[in-house]
Every structure is written in C-alpha cells, then in structure tokens.
Amino acid sequence: MTSNLAYNTYAQNNIGVESPEKLIQMMYEGILRFNMQAKRSMNENDIERRTYWINRSSAVISELINVLDYNQGDVSHYLAGLYTYQLRLLVEANLHNDSTKLDEINQVFKGLLEAWKESTNVASQA
C-alpha cells in the first residue's frame, strides 16, 4: 500500500499531468527539492525535519523502483541498482548527518533529470 504513496501523492496533486514522462520528471525534481530541504535541516541541526525530508525523498525513489518496466531492457535493471544505491546513501546521510551524501545523490538525480528531459523531448519531437 505504501509502495504507491509517492505516485498517488503526485497524481492527486497534479491531476492535469499530461503524461507518465512528465510524472517521472516531477518525481526527479521532487527528490532534488526534498534533499535540499533535508540538507538545510542538517545545517540547522533539526533532526526531525531532516528525517522528514529524507523519508519523502526515499518514498519517491522507492516508487521509481516500483514502476520500472523490466520488459524494456537492461536500462531498467541498471536503474533499479542505481536507485537502490541512492536509497542506501539516504540512509547513511540520515544516520550520520552527512550532507555530502545528499550532494552525491543530487548529482545523480540532476544527471538523470537532464537525460530524462532530453530523451522525452526527442521522443515527443519524433
């Protein structure tokens, strides 16, 4: 039931989303936003807020894992491993109050977001 939490939240809040491609983009952007909030909470020594934002980010990444279509080839398996590693880094960031882990995660998701935008833009132009 909680596995669809992130998807349901985005779907409910964004009824006008035109496509699954846009939803994935929004999920990547959400992870980046949540991690920045977690980092701010770390800097303010606010453990409760840090945990809240890291849990939000974790929920979105978990949903990304759950919606992978393994019939689409090796990229799905690669992304599953990458997402799982990002979840591990989130746990370490929270456990050790380590903002460098959040920076590492954000670098990955910035790259994924850029690649996703490029690939969906090319797909929509074809």
Q: Residues 26-73: pLDDT tens digits?
A: 999 999 999 999 999 999 999 999 999 999 999 999 999 999 999 988
Alpha carbons 77 and 8: distance in angstroms, whole number = 24
Query: Higher-confidence residue: 93 or 2?
Result: 93
Q: For position 108, which CATH number holds? A: 1.20.120.340
Between CA 32 and CA 88 the distance in angstroms is 16
Mean pLDDT of the chain: 89
Write down the pTM of the prediction. Answer: 0.83
Distance in angstroms (rounded) separating the CA atoms of residues 95 and 92: 5
- Residue range of the domain that includes 6: 2-125
How many domains is the chain partitioned into structurally? 1
| pLDDT (0 to 100) of residue 53 | 98
Q: Which of 122, 115, 120 is closest to 21 using CA atoms?
A: 120
